[in-house]
Amino acid sequence: MTAQARAIPYFSSDRADDDAFVRRARAASFHGAVGEVLWEAAEPPTLLVGCGIRAELTDAALRRAFAEAGRHLGHLAEVEIDLVAIEPELLDPAARDKAAAEGVVLGAYRFDEHVTDASETDTRWMPASPSEAWGRGLAIAAAVCGVRDLVNEPANVITPTTLAARIAELGASSGLAVAVHDETWLEEAGAGGVLAIGRGSAEPPRFVEIVHPGDGGEVDLCLVGKGVTFDSGGLSLKGPDAQIGMQYDMAAVATIAYAMTFLPVVAPELHVRAYCPLVENLPGPHSTKPGDIVTARNGKTIEILNTDFEGRTILADALALAAEQSPRHLIDLATLTYGAVNALGPRTAALFGRGEAPDLLRAAADTADEPVWPLPLLEYMMPLIRSRAADVRNFPYEPTARASTAAMFLREFIGETSSWAHLDFAGPGWSNDTHELTGPGATGFAMRTLVELFGALAAAD
C-alpha cells in the first residue's frame, strides 16, 4: 500500500526561500510554532508539522507537535512519517523516533466504541526509517490508548467484576500473575474500608493483585491504585452534574495494569506487586452511613463521616497490604481530591511522600513530560484526620488543603515504609477539551511515567 499522506517536521527558525510558500504560510497563519500544521501540495500530500525553533527542539516538543499531526491524519489508512530533517546532532535518533511515534498515536486517538457509524480505520504509521525506538513508541502509545479505552467505557460496561476480568486477561497476555479476590477474601483479609464502600451497590467489590516476580526476593516496588468504577458519592450523594464522568475514578488501576505489561521488556529483573481495590460507590439499602466505624487491614479504625471520601477509605486497606511486603518503594496513584485540582489546575498532578520515592517518581514524570508538583504534608493539620470515636476519620471538615489531609490520612496505613509516594491526579486524569497529547475524556496520564520509572529503577540496580 502506498502512503496516503506524509508528515515532515518544519522549523520556525528555518528561513524559506520560496516566496510563494511564504505567502501561503502567512495566509494560513502558519509560522512553524510547535503544533501548527500546513498542507503542501505534493505526491503524496504532505503535512508540514511545526516544531518551533530548531536549536530548541526537545523530545517533548516533538511529541506534542506530532500529536497534532495525528489529529489531522488519523483518519487515513497509511501515513509516512519522515524525520530525516532532524539530525542526530539535534536530537538523539532513538528519542526522536519514540517521541514522534507516541505523538501521532496519542493525537489520533478517539473513543467511538459505542458510535454506530464510527469509522473503523486503523492507521498504519510508517516511519521513513524504521527503528526499534519507533516500535517502542508505538507500543507505549497503544498502551496509553488502552488505558483511555478502559476509563472512557461507561460504568454499565466496566464494573468491579468486569474490570477485574479485563485486568486478568491483560496480565495473562503479558506474562503477569493476576489474582482476583472476592468478598469472602476481603472479609478474611480484614479489608473493612473496601467492604464498607462497596456494600451499597448490587455490584460486588473485588480486589486484584498483579505480580511481576522478576528475579524474586525482595519486593522492589509496590503499586497501589484507586479503583472506583463509578462514584456517586454513596449516601453522601454528589449533585447530578458532579456525577457526570465519574466512571473515570478507576483510572489509577487501569494505568497501573497497562504500565506493568512493560515490565518484562524494560525491567525484567524487578519484583513489582500491585494492589487494586475495585468498588462501585452507590447508595443502597446496605450502604455505609456517615458516622459508621470500620476496621482497616492494619487494625486501625476509620470513622466514615462522608461516603464521598471513598477513595482514601479503600486505599487504606490496599496500602496496608502492600506495606506488609516491606517493599523498597511504595507508590499509590489515585484520582483522589478536587483539592489537588484547586491547588495546581486541571493538568498537573499533586505529589506527596517521604524518602526516595517522590523524587524518583517526579524524575520519571519529567522524562515523560507529564507534569507533577510536590505539595506538603502539613503536620499542624493532623488533628483534622483524628476522630473523636475512632483512630482516624475520612473527612477533615476543613475545606482547605484537602489534598494534603488526604495524603496524611493515607500515610496512617503505610506502616514503617520509608520510601513512599502518593500521586493525586484527579485533574490530569480526565480532560474536558483538546490539548497537546489528548482530546476530551480519559487521558491515560501517568502510564508513561510509570514505564519510565520502571526503567530508571532497573538501571539503578
Positions marked catalytic: 238, 312
**Strands, E, within 185-344: which ranges?**
206-212, 221-225, 227-231, 272-281, 292-295, 301-304, 329-334
Place of cell 506474562: 175
Residue 358: all three cell numbers together: 517522590
Distance of CA 199 to the CA centre of its chain: 27
Strands 221-225 and 441-442, sheet pairing: unpaired
The answer to whether residues 73 and 5 touch, using CB atoms and an 8 Å cutoff, is yes
The answer to whether residues 218 and 237 touch, using CB atoms and an 8 Å cutoff, is no
Q: How many Å apart are CA 81 and CA 121, to the nearest integer?
A: 18
Residue 269: all three cell numbers together: 529483573
**Strands, E, within 90-168: which ranges?**
124-127
The answer to whether residues 361 and 453 touch, using CB atoms and an 8 Å cutoff, is yes
Q: How many Å apart are CA 249 and CA 458, to the nearest integer?
A: 30
Question: Which DSSP state fits 381?
Answer: G
Q: Which residues pair with 438 in a beta bridge?
A: 435
Q: Extract long-range pairs of 188-191: CB within 8 Å, 24+ residues apart.
A: 189/297, 189/317, 189/321, 190/295, 190/296, 190/297, 190/299, 190/317, 191/277, 191/296, 191/297, 191/317, 191/321
Q: How many Å apart are CA 133 and CA 92, to the nearest integer?
A: 11
Angle, in degrees to the nearest 10, between helices 402-411 and 310-323: 30
Q: How many Å apart are CA 371 and CA 362, to the nearest integer?
A: 8
Question: Which DSSP state fits 423?
Answer: E
Q: Is the peptide bond between 44 and the residue preceding it cis, with omega within 30 degrees of 0? A: yes
Q: How many Å apart are CA 227 and CA 249, to the nearest integer?
A: 6
Residue 303: all three cell numbers together: 470513622
Exposure of 76 in the CB half-sphere (CA atoms within 13 A)? 23
Give the type of residue at 297: R
Alpha carbon distance, N-terminus to C-terminus of the chain: 45
Q: How many Å apart are CA 91 and CA 206, to the nearest integer?
A: 46
